Structure 1
Amino acid sequence: MLGERARYKEKVKEFCKKWGKRIATPQMAVIAVITLIASFIGAWLKQYPGFSLLGALIIALLIGMIVQFPIRAWYVRNNEIRAAGVKDAAGLIANKLLRLGIILLGFKLNLDVLFTTGIKCLPLAAVIVAVTVVMTYTIARWLGVDPLLAILVAGGTGICGAAAVMAISGSIKVSKHKAEEKSNDEVIAVAIVAIMGVIFALIELVFGPMTGLSKEQLGIVAGGSLHEIAHAVAVGAALGAEGETMAMIMKLSRVLMLVVAAILIAIWWDKTKSDVKSDGKRKIAFPWFMLGFIAASVLGTLFISWWGQGGQQFSNVCVDIAYILLGMAMAALGINVNFTVLAKRGGKALLASAIASVILLGLCVLIAMLFF
């Protein structure tokens, strides 16, 4: 018994020592401050026209991509230790804060609303997500896009933009020599769904009222077809209260599908695409943080049910913290982006997402006309 306790203490000590070396570094402090500032700037700028279509997360990503140049020129210079420290710190922030942010984002999902007012939206959202993910991945692979980038773009296009890209990436396990490629694919996928989201949000804002669809139907189209939550909110707000409500319900219904999609993709990837060597017993990279997302959704719904306005305020604070953490993660991702790889590998994936987005918009218009 004493031997087991001693071994346990030794493991805890080794764990703390290992992570202490990665966290307690000057580079971590520098990157943490920079990404936090980027996240706050994104949250501030999203209030203004134009920037609202991008959303706080995409703005933070763009800031991260820009500040990597002064970081290298003024801080890293030719110091290899600093260069390695910056890369590791940015990677750690992007990885860990992303998961924590997604968990807290669960407080945005009011399950009472989804399972009452939005009950009709849930099965339709499942169909939209399944069709779009499979379709986008198929088109991307047909165009010659690598499997990892293809599935990340498919998830971002079909579910909920940047958050879906990062959640799916977190559920996929790759070997160490492909870790940098995976990081670059994340940025490419996020950039692609951001571009597509803005383009199609503008299309729906301009041409939506000309279609003859009701505001409720246009809200369903916006929530079902647009990539980021910010896109659905921006278009929904232009449709009035009824359109905005339906846009958010349909969009959050798609967000809820992220849990199932991340788990299924993790299992599929492990069985068909994984390059991680196995010693006989293969462990699937199960996205445990998605269970935290569900738990947060349940807690947020219960808090609102029990404490009314107080519960809603608590959930709002948690969501605000989630977006700060997600903004930091996106900025950190931008700091490590390789622009050469982005330019070289992004074209075909962008085309795949564009084709799929056109088909997705047509599917959502058809669903709105048939069911609402």
Structure 2
Amino acid sequence: MFFRRYKRTVKEFVQKWGKRIATPQMLVIAIVTLIASFIGAWLKQFPGFSLLGALIIALLIGMIVQFPLRAWYVRDNSIRAAGVKDAAGLIANKLLRLGIILLGFKLNLELLFTTGIKCLPIAAVIVALTVTVTYAIARWLGVNPLLAILVAGGTGICGAAAVMAISGSIKVGPDRAEEKSNDEVIAVAIVAIMGTIFALLELFIGPFTGLSEKQLGIVAGGSLHEIAHAVAAGEGFGPVALEMATIMKLSRVLMLVFAAIIIAIWWDKTQSDVKTDGKRKITFPWFMLGFIAASVLGTLFISWWGPAGKAFAGGCVDVAYIVLGMAMAALGINVNFSVLAKRGGKALLASAIASVLLLGFCICIASLFF
């Protein structure tokens, strides 16, 4: 009886997902997003593009490529249009979780709990305050709750990766799936713009603040949104600043685990419209446990195998960025530009105000504790 039921369940699963995966549209979108991801990884090595980072570049490519896709491939074919939308949505959703899990190999927990031990409680305070304040400002300005929390997470934690991780932790009804997808793109675009602006701003004003190189690194790692932004600013101040910016930024990345879980529970209890049998169904972001497991494994591999373990962890991180690049490009393919223009303004203002407050707070923290 058990084996027959198990066999039937497996058969139904294969049939269900086979219909969505084994399609010409899935093949087309997989190839397009993979190419976009590789282009993003290649372009990020050049000045200017390095501030954007591979994920943002892949998103922009996806947003651009949707036009030739519609003109040359979809045309007036409703079946192809639906297939492209479904394939892009599936890649954005599933590869996002895989990428976030593999990104855990970037976190060297031994480094964070030794050299960066002082940064961890500070990172927790920075993340908690920034997410709370940014969300409050966004809601005060009239931004919808979903977009507000995504922008808050991206501003307070680690940019695009945080937006996507938090979005993956939040469940909405089928009627709001498109709204959620558009809000993801808006939030990612906002934190990319704000991160780039403030990275350039910090590089310009840094020498005039009177802070030491170490303190400037703390400010960069504590206040900038993307890892690429923190690394670029830290590198501009010197090797000591680069090390401290990296440690401080990775401390904030570690907070993503706790933030995603807390936000998921908060959302389900206060905002979710997904119900089962009249009761609210709590959605736990299980993929974040994979993120933790990957960080533990990566740390152990480096500790046990030295350079070989470091190379393995680095390879996993490279795969993570390729997979996340595909997810971001797929997200860009489905973006609605009219919605982006209509809803993005107030959310951008909220992130800008919060970013100014965050920069001032990090300067005070660096002055007092480092």
Tell me if TM exceeds 0.5. Answer: yes
Aligned to 1:324: 322
Structure 1: how far apart are the matches of 2:278 and 2:346? Answer: 36
| Aligned-residue RMSD, C-alpha | 0.7
Q: Percent identity?
A: 83
Structure 1: how far apart are the matches of 2:16 and 2:160? Answer: 30
Aligned to 1:133: 131
Asked if residue 284 in structure 1 is aligned to residue 282 in structure 2, the reply is: yes
How much does 1:279 deviate?
1.2
How much does 1:7 deviate?
1.4
Unaligned runs of 5+ in 1: none
Aligned to 2:38: 40
How much does 1:238 deviate?
1.1
Aligned to 1:367: 365
Q: How does 1:218-237 map to 2 (within 5 A)?
A: 218-237=216-235
Task: Identify the match of residue 206 of structure 2 among 187, 208, 233.
Answer: 208
Aligned to 1:304: 302
What are the superposed Cα offsets for residues 209-239 of structure 1, whole Å, 9 maximum, x if unpaired?
A: 1111011000000000000001011111112
Task: Identify the match of residue 161 of structure 1 among 134, 159, 162.
Answer: 159
- TM superposition score normalised by structure 1: 0.99
Letter in 2 for 1:155: G
Letter in 1 for 2:168: G
Task: Provide the aligned length of Structure 1 versus Structure 2.
Answer: 370
Aligned to 2:56: 58
Structure 2: how far apart are the matches of 1:325 and 1:278? Answer: 32
For the 8 Å contact 2:100–2:291, the answer to whether it is kept is yes
Task: Identify the match of residue 119 of structure 2 among 118, 121, 139.
Answer: 121
Deviates most, 182-191 or 205-214: 205-214
Letter in 2 for 1:81: I
Aligned to 2:264: 266
How much does 1:280 deviate?
4.2
Structure 2: how far apart are the matches of 1:42 and 1:280? Answer: 45
Task: Identify the match of residue 252 of structure 1 among 245, 250, 253.
Answer: 250
Structure 1: how far apart are the matches of 2:347 and 2:367? Answer: 30
Aligned to 1:343: 341
Structure 2: how far apart are the matches of 1:177 and 1:351? Answer: 28
Letter in 1 for 2:85: K
Structure 1: how far apart are the matches of 2:63 and 2:295? Answer: 32
Structure 2: how far apart are the matches of 1:285 and 1:179? Answer: 16
Q: How does 1:24-103 map to 2 (within 5 A)?
A: 24-103=22-101
Structure 1: how far apart are the matches of 2:256 and 2:153? Answer: 8
Asked if residue 275 in structure 1 is aligned to residue 273 in structure 2, the reply is: yes
* Equivalent position SS for 1:129: helix
Task: Identify the match of residue 110 of structure 2 among 109, 112, 115.
Answer: 112
Task: Identify the match of residue 353 of structure 1 among 348, 351, 355.
Answer: 351
How much does 1:8 deviate?
1.4
What are the superposed Cα offsets for residues 98-141 of structure 1, whole Å, 9 maximum, x if unpaired?
A: 11011010000000000000000000000000000000000000
Unaligned runs of 5+ in 2: none
Aligned to 1:143: 141
Structure 2: how far apart are the matches of 1:277 and 1:73? Answer: 39
For the 8 Å contact 2:275–2:281, the answer to whether it is kept is no
* Equivalent position SS for 1:238: helix
